Amino acid sequence: MKVTLREKPINDGKISLYLDFYPAISHPETGKDTRREFLGLYLFDKPRTELDRQHNKATKLLAQNICATRQLEVQAGNYGFLKKKVVAVDFLAYFKKQADIEKARDKGSRNNWNSAYLHLYNFTTGKLTVDEVTADFCKSFRDYLTTAKPLNVTKSAKKAIAHNSAKGYFVIFGTALNRAVDDKLFTINPNDTVKGLTRKETQREFLTLAELQSLAKTECDLPYLKRAALFSALTGLRYSDVAKLTWSEVYEDVNGSYIRFMQQKTEGVETLPLNETARILLAERSEGVVFPELLYSSWQNQKLSEWAHRSGIKRRITFHAFRHTFATLQLMEGTDLYTISKLLGHRNITTTQIYAKIVDTQKRAAVNRLSIEITDMN
pLDDT (tens digit, 9 = 90+) per residue, 287-299? 899 999 988 788 8
What is the predicted pLDDT for the residue at 86? 44
For 331-367, write each residue's pLDDT tens digit: 888 888 888 888 888 777 776 767 766 666 655 555 5
Handedness of CA 149, 153, 157, 162 (dihedral sign): negative
pLDDT at 184: 83
* pLDDT value for 156: 44
Contact 233, 203 (CB under 8 A): no
pLDDT digits (tens, 9 = 90+) for 92-145: 999 999 998 888 776 544 578 999 999 999 999 999 998 899 999 999 999 999
- Give the whole-angstrom CA distance, residue 291 versus residue 289: 6
Distances (CA, A) of 239 to 204, 295, 301, 304, 346: 16, 10, 12, 13, 15
| pTM, entire model | 0.52
User: Which ranges of 146-268 would DSSP assign to H, the alpha helix?
Assistant: 163-182, 209-217, 223-235, 239-244
Residue 306 scores a pLDDT above 90: yes
Average pLDDT over residues 254-271: 82
Measured CA to CA, the distance from residue 340 to residue 258 in angstroms comes to 16
Mean model confidence pLDDT for the chain: 84
Q: For residue 42, which of 177, 173, 184, 158 has the smallest C-alpha distance? A: 184
What percent of the chain clears pLDDT 70, i.e. is strictly above it? 85
